[in-house]
A = this chain, B = another copy of it.
Amino acid sequence: MKCYEMFELKFSGPAPEGSRAEADVAAVFRCGDDEKTVKGFYDGDGIYKVRFLPQQTGTYSWKVEGVVQAEGTAECTASDKSHGMVQAVGTHFEYEDGTKYLPFGTTIYALAHQTEDIITQTLESLEKAPFNKVRHCIFPKHYDYNHNDPEFYPFEKDAEGNWDVHHPCLAYWKHFEEIVTRMGEMGIETDLILFHAYDRWGFAFLNMEECRVYLDYVMRRLAAYPYIWWSMANEYDIMFNHTIEDWYEIERIITEEDPYHHLLSNHNCMKLYDFSRPAVTHCCVQTIAMYKADEWQKRFRKPVVFDECCYEGDLQHEWGNISGFEMVNRFWCACAKGAYVTHGETFIDDQDVLWWAKGGKLKGESPKRIAFLKDLMYGLPAYVTPWDEPVWEDFENATEKKTGSMEDNPFFKLMGSLDGENREIIQMKNAQYSGCCGEEVFLKYYARQCARVSSIHLPKDKKYRIEVIDVWDMTRETLIEEASGTTQLQLPGKEGIAVLAVRR
**Cα separation A22 to B321 with both chains bound (whole Å):** 62
A348 is an interface residue with CB less than 8 A from chain B: yes
Indicate if the CB atoms of B415 and A449 lie closer than 8 Å.
no
**8 Å CB contact of A287 from B238, B429, B455:** B429
Query: Which residues of B lie under 8 Å from residue A292 when comparing CB positions?
Result: 421, 425
Closest to A237 in B: B414
Q: Return the CB mask of A452-472 against B: 1 if under 8 Å, else 0.
A: 111100000000000000000
- A381 CB-CB contact with B under 8 Å: no
> Is A351 at the interface (CB under 8 A from chain B)?
no
Residue of B nearest to A394 (CB): B316
Answer whether residue A88 sits at the interface, using C-beta atoms and an 8 A cutoff.
no
CB 8 Å contact bits of A291-331 with B (1 = contact, 0 = none): 01000000000000000001001111011011100100000
Q: A424 in the interface, Cβ–Cβ < 8 Å?
A: yes
Residues of B close to A495: CB separation below 8 A: 323
| Interface size class of chain A, counting residues whose CB lies under 8 Å from the partner chain | 35 or more
Q: Is A244 an interface residue (CB 8 A)?
A: no
Q: A321 and B414: CB pair below 8 A? A: no
Give chain B nearest CB distance to A345 CB in angstroms.
12
> 1/0 per position for A77-98, CB-CB distance to B under 8 A?
0000000000000000000000
Q: Which 3 residue pairs of A and B lie closest in terms of their CB atoms, listed nearest first?
A: A314-B452, A424-B424, A314-B493
Contact residues of A with B, CB < 8 Å? 237-238, 240, 269-272, 287-289, 292, 310, 313-316, 318-319, 321-323, 326, 348, 410-411, 414-415, 418, 420-422, 424-426, 428-432, 448-455, 493-495
**Known contacts A237-B414, A318-B431; can you find 9 more A-B pairs with CB under 8 A?**
A240-B414, A270-B415, A270-B422, A272-B422, A288-B428, A289-B424, A292-B421, A421-B424, A424-B424
